[in-house]
Structure 1
Amino acid sequence: MIEVDAAGVVEFTQALVRIPSTNDPARGRNEQPAADLVLEKMRSWGWEPQVYEAAPGRPNVVAVVEGGLPGPTLMFEGHTDVVTEGDLSEWTVDPFGGEISDGKLWGRGSADMKSGLAATLYATRALQLAGPFPGRIKVCALADEEGLMIGAHHFVDSGLAADVDGAIVAEPEAGEICAVAKGALRLRVDFTGKMAHGAMPQHGRNPIQAVGSLLVALRSYQDELQKRFPAHEHLGEVYVTPTVARAGTEEQVNVIPAVASVFIDVRTIPGVSHDEVAARVLDLAGYDGISAEVSVLVDRPPVDVPVSDPLIVALAGAHEAVTGSPAVYGGVPGSTDGTVLTHWGGIPSVVYGPGGKWIAHQADEFVEVDEIVRCTRVFAEAALRFLTRSA
């Protein structure tokens, strides 16, 4: 096994967790301080990272570590932003304390995904010190994964994905190798009717009735999709979930509003066409003289990388070599930066990293300290196997 700096990767994770890198301009927070810490660590090793600003105060940090021999390019990817800590009364620890107790490192982003980001840096450094090795590793700390993924889109749009042959995304997956991920399609349906007095509804056209009709139809449509596309082995069912319904600009009980809206979160599995879903929703929105318009807010197709891909084979072999246990395959219930890298960057991607699969975004978030170190070893071994096998 390649030797890794076990104490160093844990300490660096603690330092990252202690930075409240939420996207919260009202509190003066963004990813910049976390990106600065990553830059400092990379430069301390003699790397020459580049900074690309996806948005003001929201940088992408990218370092290319050459192995010294001809070969392909592997990308390690993590994000520097975290979700809000939420209600502090729900926490039993300081959400940005980075404390270690009971073998766990606690805090917001400990699992999602500052431990994974730290592991990618320290795995690359370990491989560099053990070198030479074929090809190169592109270590990327991107912004805004928790939002609209502007960091990953900026990375792809800037041409930085063009030379990458495979990407390991270090999200928390509890030891599962996730080569598949659900798609996310978020729609907004706007209805336009005609305002009228509640006492004289015959003079108006009530868009709220169109909302009700659509909500009922969406449940039937979800049932239809689930029959057409049986549950995926790792991703489960297709879901069509209305999440917001609202009418008018002000609530006034004696007024029929002129407008109403419904927001829909659709989670898909491979085989489901997002264009077809959007068109069907528009068809279902039709209602007795009420005009309807469907807007696509987010369109992230499912990811489905074959387990026979060299990237997956290398990661599975590394997992088995380091842990002594067979690889376990799973799926990502949401989308990650890997979705952007695969569909818009053309890069085979896989999600694997330290931390529980369901602990992200919860109070008292934590990651097992041993798992941070173990994943760092797996990443180093996977990189060597992928770059050597593909050379």
Structure 2
Amino acid sequence: MAERVVNVPAHNDVVDLCARLVRFDTTNHGNGDSAGERDAAEFVAQVLSDAGVESTIYESAPGRANVIARLSGRDPSLPALLVQGHLDVVPAAAADWTVPPFSGEIRDGYLWGRGAVDMKDFCAMVLSAVRSMAASGRKPRRDVVLAFVADEEDRGDFGAHWLTAKHPDLFDGCAAAISESGGYTYHVPAADGRTVRLYPVATAERGTAHLRISATGRAGHASRRNDENAVLRLVGALHRLSEHRWPVRLTPTVTAFLERAGAALDVQIDLSDVDATLARLGPAAGLVESTVRNSTTPTVLDAGYKVNVIPSLASAQVDTRTLPGTEDDLLRELDTLLGPHVEREFLTRQPAVEAPVDSTWFSSMADALRSQDPAAVVVPYCMGGGTDAKAFSALGIDCYGFAPLWLPEGFPYRAMAHGVDERVPVEGLRFGAAVLDHFLSHC
């Protein structure tokens, strides 16, 4: 059966909105070094104003701008919904790209540029849906808080975490939130030869614990025997860590993904043998294989200052990701693996996020996707990385990854975010705007 997208109204402005957002260089180099989001924020505020929506720009530091607006719903007795996306992007080396990364060029049915997928596409789709509703005199079913924030690509200190710490009242009444990353098409071959269109919606994401691992020892001359060499102690600890295979821990989200994706693909699911189940899932395993276990990945090394000197201190940084409810167990095992004379400290510590799978929110997202693709199979999944959901979930908000996007078969979507030649299908933008319009109108 030929794949097609149905009932997609002509949101002619969403592509232009996305292109114009991409053309703002909002590069975030990290550690406070940023081009800033102010110009993009002012553009967003103007688009909202043209649609009759009043907004406010909150600057956490010069140039680090966040836009907040609140739409009144038809039923103010319902809890509010937060729709949040970030305006900053990661750096792009222009020499590596086919097109200039901030050109917003449209070529071969795609809109190219840094942020086209992560995540100015979502910001444009939200703005398009708001404009469409305003143009037709419609209101969302419930109050909707819009947040276009800074600094997600670093630590959120100038964006979501700053807003929730300094202005939590802006999100009063919000029971749930949507943002990156979920609701996109994932074409998977089924056991019977069919191609199934899965749409994974994130109902969880692993926690982030960036650690510094430090080994101490006795300094000395490198030509002499030294059984207290800090470098060797660190290398030994990292070797034990890298060799350790963390056990399978099935969370409600991952369990639901395996069961529902398996049923849709006609694949036998054995929760007692997850590795064998992943092998049977084929390409769909890519959505879940990183979230059946915790992970500890060494990424940075720092030791020594002269080749003939044994240092007294050697350190490494380890990217640690924890599934909901597992952090304490991981840290106990981690301390055992590190061994004596090696200590750890947190550089960043943000808990895992998990929202209910079987909720009216999830059902409304599924309905909205099926309004544009009746063959959509909507499944929950857990994100392996982290988003601003960690900031907003601390306010008691159930956070979902729902940034709907239609993707053609074979499109390397998961390689686009932070990658070279980042691009998004023009048809996908129009599909996403229509899905969001439906969701905001009915959820």
Query: In which range does the TM-score fall when normalised by the shorter chain?
Result: 0.7 to 0.9
Q: Which residue of 1 aligns with 2:322?
A: 268
Aligned 8 A contact 1:311 1:348 in 2: no
Preserved CA contact (<8 Å) 2:7 2:372: no
Q: Give runs of aligned pairs for residues 1-391 of structure 1, distance below 5 A.
A: 6-24=11-29, 29-70=35-76, 71-86=78-93, 88-128=94-134, 129-150=136-157, 151-157=159-165, 158-159=167-168, 160-171=170-181, 174-175=184-185, 176=199, 177-202=201-226, 205-221=228-244, 223=245, 225-227=246-248, 233=258, 234=288, 235-248=291-304, 250=305, 252-273=306-327, 275-287=328-340, 290=341, 292-329=342-379, 330-342=381-393, 344-353=394-403, 354=405, 356-386=413-443
Unaligned runs of 5+ in 2: 1-5, 186-198, 259-287, 408-412
The 3 A distance-change label for structure 1 pair 219 and 115 is same
Hey, what's the Cα distance between the residues in 1 that align with 2:182 and 2:122? 7
> Which moves more between the two structures, 303-312 or 136-145?
303-312
> Is the Cα–Cα contact under 8 Å of residues 180 and 387 in structure 2 kept in the other structure?
no
Could you say if the C-alpha distance between residues 277 and 331 of structure 1 is closer, same or farther in structure 2, counting changes exceeding 3 Å?
Answer: closer
Q: Match of 2:330, as an amino acid?
A: V
Aligned partners of 2:241 and 2:338 also within 8 Å: no
The amino acid of 1:313's aligned partner reads S
* Residues paired across the two proteins, number: 375
8 Å contact kept, 1:23–1:31: no
**C-alpha distance in structure 1 between counterparts of 2:442 and 2:311, whole Å:** 62
| TM-score normalised per structure 1 | 0.88
In structure 2, C-alpha distance between the alignment counterparts of 1:62 and 1:5, rounded to whole Å: 27
Contact 1:104 1:368 in 2 (8 A): yes
Which stretch of the first structure deviates more once superposed, 140-149 or 330-339? 330-339
Amino acid at match of 2:386: S
Percent of paired sites with the same residue:
31
Question: CA shift at 1:97, angstroms?
Answer: 0.7
Q: Measured at CA, do residues 126 and 239 of structure 1 come closer, stay the same or move farther in structure 2, by a change above 3 Å?
A: same
Task: Provide Cα deviations, 1:85-112, integer angstroms capped at 9, x if missing partner.
Answer: 13x2321111111011111000110111
Cα deviation digits, residues 125-177 of structure 1 (max 9, x gap): 32344424443111110111111022111222221333212111044652332
Where does structure 1 lack aligned partners over 5 or more consecutive residues?
387-391
For residues 140 and 299 of structure 2, what CA distance do their matches in structure 1 show?
A: 49
**Cα RMSD between the aligned structures?**
2.6
Q: What do residues 173-202 of structure 1 show as CA deviations (whole Å, max 9, x unaligned)? A: 523322222222211112232321123344
Quick one: structure 1 residues 323 and 130, their matched pair in 2 at CA, closer, same or farther if it must change by over 3 Å? farther
Separation in structure 2 between the aligned mates of residue 257 and residue 237 of structure 1, nearest angstrom = 35
Report if aligned partners of 1:31, 1:80 keep a CA contact under 8 Å in 2.
yes
The alignment's TM-score, normalised by the length of structure 2, stands at: 0.78
Contact conserved, 2:84 with 2:179, CA < 8 A, in 1? Answer: yes
